[in-house]
Amino acid sequence: MATLKEKLYEKILIERPKIQELLKNHGDTVIDEVRVSQVIGGMRGIKSLVTDISYLDPEEGIRFRGYTIPEVFELLPKPDCCEMPLVEGFYYLLLTGDIPNTEQVEQIADEFSKRKHVPWYVFDVLRAMPRDTHPMTMFANAILALQRESKFAKKYREGLKREDYGDATYEDSISLLAKLPEIAAYIYRMKYKNNEFIPPDPHMDMAGNFAHMMGVGKPYDDVSRLYFILHSDHESGNVSAHTGHLIASALSDIYYSISGMLNGLAGPLHGLANQEVLRWIQGEMKKYGGVVPSKEKLAEDVWHTLNSGQVIPGFGHAVLRKTDPRYTAQREFCMKHIKNDMLFEYVKLLYDVVPPILREQGKAKNPWPNVDAQSGVLQWHFGVKEYEFYTVLFGMGRAFGVTANIIWDRALGYPLERPKSITTQMISDMVKAK
């Protein structure tokens, strides 16, 4: 049976001529137009990136390699006595587009296991940082410290052939991903649990081992699998994915790219949204003395929030025009495992109250909840109550999607990303000339 690397190489050999043919025969074909509002408005909606890893359909939601979230959860192999698929198998899907069998998942799990040892100097870097350092700063610096391990960087200095860029990037990606659970759990235990570390269990899968090292019991292993899969990839245009792609396009290795990706993810407009949602819900719960209000009373609060110029965190999406399927997947898990949790009672009530109000207000293109509407609530229920750490969990998941994209970028020989800038005066002149 072919290894993941061998299977990936087979797929690459099929795709390379397709890309070459498109460039040779259709390189001048126009596929989009650009408006002034897009140039000034953050390049929103401009079709300028390529990824086959995931696609976000406005009406259908995210598809991973063509599979919907329910299909991913149904088809991928799962550990015994668990509901959620193995993250190792999901990564196989992201890289190849194929649903792996149990043997193939075990194969890549074994590959991860062989590479999960974290060098001593990474822990030295973490311990040298003040304890009040943000965990994302710690996480990004730990990954940056690992850059000395890069096989791509070493081979490039030795004269790596262009067609082998993807292979070396694959090696770096597997090595990095294998180490992320222990690094993240170490940060958590050092920062929040009085340096009481839990050693890894060599017999556990990646997400199960992460839950074990975090010190959180079942079903937190399934929470981790769910969380990593749902946050793995969301096309290439979001800040974290685009940052990773951009850095890698300069032939920076995977360690530089993922560290930079995390710095983008740490921004309040990207990876911090789940924290803001949780804070807002907890504020509402405190206001009502820990009891669930009526729909009518909560609706009054929602209108008051909107009329004061604020938004309802966790609702709306730049692309989606329906309830985020990632929200739905979490909701179904919560209904089974934490249905009587007070915070989740608020989440359920907000789902009934907020969308009709946002539709009536008429400003939101999408009044439905997104992935952040309850992800923090889920973490809080199982005892991970340190808000700042949630973005680290997001980053662990996003690393799977971004590394998969970068491997393919390198394998297909995508060039340095370098869009052209123009001045405001030039835009004004163009508009006047129309």
The CATH number of the domain holding residue 316 is 1.10.230.10
250 and 296 in a single domain? The answer is no
In a domain, 430, yes or no: no
352 and 394 in a single domain? The answer is no
Map 167-214 to HEC letters. Answer: HHHHHHHHHHHHHHHHHHHHHHHHHHCCCCCCCCCCCCCHHHHHHHHH
Backbone φ and ψ for 48, nearest 5 degrees, come out as: -145, 5
CA–CA dist 221, 225 (Å, integer): 6
* Contact yes or no for 400/234 (Cβ under 8 A): no
CA–CA dist 361, 356 (Å, integer): 9
CA–CA dist 434, 422 (Å, integer): 17
Instruction: Give the domain range for residue 43.
Output: 1-26+38-270+385-416
**Any idea which residue has 């990004």 for tokens?**
140
CA–CA dist 236, 264 (Å, integer): 13
What residues are annotated to the active site? 270, 317, 372
In a domain, 312, yes or no: yes
Burial 418-433 (b: 16+ CB within 10 A, else e): eeeeeeeeeeeeeeee
* Contact yes or no for 281/411 (Cβ under 8 A): no
Eight-state DSSP code of residue 312 = -
**Any idea which residue has 């079942």 for tokens?**
218
Backbone φ and ψ for 56, nearest 5 degrees, come out as: -100, 105
**Any idea which residue has 């999960």 for tokens?**
116
How is residue 206 written in tokens? 């990646």
207 and 121 in a single domain? The answer is yes
Cα 157 vs. chain centroid, distance in angstroms?
A: 31
310 and 398 in a single domain? The answer is no
The CATH number of the domain holding residue 393 is 1.10.580.10
342 and 195 in a single domain? The answer is no
CA–CA dist 166, 8 (Å, integer): 10
CA–CA dist 354, 244 (Å, integer): 34
In a domain, 189, yes or no: yes
**Any idea which residue has 């890893």 for tokens?**
53
At 399 the three-state DSSP class reads helix
In a domain, 131, yes or no: yes
CA–CA dist 123, 118 (Å, integer): 8
CA–CA dist 195, 383 (Å, integer): 17
In a domain, 431, yes or no: no
Contacts of 290 (CB under 8 A, 6+ apart): 342
CA–CA dist 130, 153 (Å, integer): 30
In a domain, 251, yes or no: yes
Contacts of 74 (CB under 8 A, 6+ apart): none
User: End-to-end distance of the chain based on CA atoms, in angstroms?
Assistant: 61
In a domain, 433, yes or no: no
138 and 238 in a single domain? The answer is yes
- One digit per residue, the tens of pLDDT, for the chain of length 434 reads 789 999 999 999 999 999 899 889 998 898 888 888 888 888 888 888 889 999 988 888 899 999 999 999 999 999 998 999 999 999 999 999 999 999 999 999 999 999 999 999 999 999 999 999 999 999 999 999 999 999 999 999 999 999 999 999 999 999 999 999 999 999 999 999 999 999 999 899 999 999 999 999 999 999 999 999 999 998 888 899 999 999 999 999 999 999 999 999 998 888 888 888 899 899 988 988 888 999 999 999 899 989 998 888 888 777 777 888 999 999 999 999 998 899 999 999 999 999 999 988 877 778 888 888 889 999 999 999 999 999 999 999 999 999 999 999 999 999 999 988 989 998 888 898 87
Integer angstrom CA distances of residue 375 from 78, 87, 259, 300, 430? 22, 18, 23, 25, 45
* Contact yes or no for 67/75 (Cβ under 8 A): yes
157 and 284 in a single domain? The answer is no
Number of domains making up the chain: 2
